Amino acid sequence: MHDIRAIRENPAAFDAALARRGADPLSSDVLRLDEARRTAIHAAETAQAEQNKASKDVGAAKAKGDEAEFERLRALVAEKKAEVAEMQARAKELDAQLTNLLMTVPNTPLADVPPGADEEDNVEIRRWGTPRVFDFQPVEHYELAGVKPGMDFETAAKLSGARFVVLSGAVARIHRALAQFMLDTHVEEHGLSETWTPVLVREDMMLGTGQLPKFGEDSYQTTNGWWLVPTAEVTLTNIVHGLTVDEGSLPRRYVAHTQCFRSEAGSAGKDTAGMLRQHQFEKVEMVSVTHPDQSMAEHARMTGCAETILQKLGLPYRTVVLCTGDMGFGATKTHDIEVWLPGQNTYREISSVSVCGDFQARRMNARFKPAGGGKPEFVHTLNGSGLAVGRCLIAVLENGQQADGSVELPQALHPWLRGKTRLTAEGTLV
């Protein structure tokens, strides 16, 4: 959420930042509500002061035996009491309207975020690895002979519908090994704190990280009001919801492996084949909570953590900066990491690493106490995939495929597979 004081001080800058994201100017609507709210608050405070004074004068009139003045003042107290209640209710209503409006406004991009309308305007900043040259025509993951026995879309459709999969046998084991490999690497080498969190959350947790109120259709809600998390960003970031932590405890770095659930609203007809875009999937998610002065350095560090996983697996990738029109709602800057998929002959997103500034912290009311004293300040929050497990499985299968439909598995993964190195064309691990 945005700082109303910053909007008051420079509404033109606020509108200009929104314009960079392709959004309409909103400062006039925000300031109109803000002014009306402040007027109502001032009126309530004025009426309260008049009520308090009249209440004191009632006693004095009673003591003097001035019955007429006593009755006049008593009526005035009742009138001011009603006025206070009316103005307080009005102020509360306007405050809710202002909050609801600000809750729907996206974060503003940093000055160095490239302008653009969509993914075509994203800017590549580096590549790692060289895509393998095949002496046969590579295929997509679900077409591999060794994968077919362990990747069942028909049974999943019977159980749950489209965009689900049942993994079994060797493929399920590789999928699990990838998640364990990612977690252990992030904990042992990157210093993240392994965390296990619920996948059902209260509505205010979704509000805190920005999935609500604007994007409710992208997630699933249970009949009793819980929401299924679209990512562990929701739970990990909200660990500091409503807290004021010591500056010395920052940065806080979390990592969690969870199921994730997305309705994929608006993506009809996209990536329907295979398991690239699913309603239920697994992700190893990283979240950092930092001092404001550290957040940009932390963004670079987190991007490096995600890239390290791909490097260890020997998977070629490129890293891009998202343009203003392609960034997520809560981000002020985002790096996307795109892994090479030879079956599609293109790079596809496998991680987004975003810095959110104090945008989520304001929604969550998450602050820190400065070590040198002074007023508590809002923390900065960051999140990133480290990595999407299913998409990493796709990349491992496609990049390691052989002409006979078997798959040579990355050496880094061998210890998590008890020394197994290959998925045979028959679908077994050897």
Active site annotation includes 202: no
Is position 143 annotated in a ligand binding site? no
Which entry of 352, 398, 406, 422 is annotated as an active-site residue? 352
Known catalytic residue: 349? Answer: yes
CA distances from 348 to 15, 88, 277, 283, 402 (A): 33, 53, 11, 16, 21
262 is in an annotated binding site: yes
Residue with structure tokens 């790096």?
335
Residue 141 to residue 341: CA distance in whole angstroms: 9
Selecting among 20, 37, 173, 391, the annotated active-site residue is 391
- Please check if 232 is assigned to a binding site: yes
Please give the single-letter amino acid code of residue 37.
R
Which residue do the tokens 């977690």 mark? 183
Q: What is the DSSP letter of 247?
A: G
- Active-site pick, 90, 132, 252, 277: 277
- Residue 251, preceding bond cis, omega within 30 degrees? yes
CA distance 117 to 119: 7
Omega within 30 of 0 (cis) for the link into 387: yes
Residue 406 designated active-site: no
**Strand 252-261 vs strand 280-290: parallel, antiparallel, or unpaired?**
antiparallel
| Cβ–Cβ < 8 Å for 278, 164 | yes
Of the listed 262, 301, 363, 367, which one is catalytic?
262
- Residue 349 counted as an annotated binding residue: yes
Residue 219 marked ligand-binding: no
Question: Pick the catalytic residue: 72, 349, 362, 377?
Answer: 349
Q: Which of 233, 229, 285, 238 is nearest to 257 (CA)?
A: 285
Instruction: Say if residue 231 carries a ligand binding annotation.
Output: yes
Question: Are the C-beta atoms of 171 and 427 separated by less than 8 Å?
Answer: yes
Burial of 399 (0-12, 13-18, 19+ CB in 10 A): buried
253 is known as an active-site residue: no
Annotated active-site residue 295? The verdict is no
Q: Which amino acids are annotated as binding site for L-serine, given as ranges? A: 231-233, 285, 385
- The residues annotated with a catalytic role in the active site are 262, 277, 349, 352, 391
Q: Which amino acids are annotated as binding site, given as ranges? A: 231-233, 262-264, 285, 349-352, 385
Q: Which amino acids are annotated as binding site for ATP, given as ranges? A: 262-264, 349-352
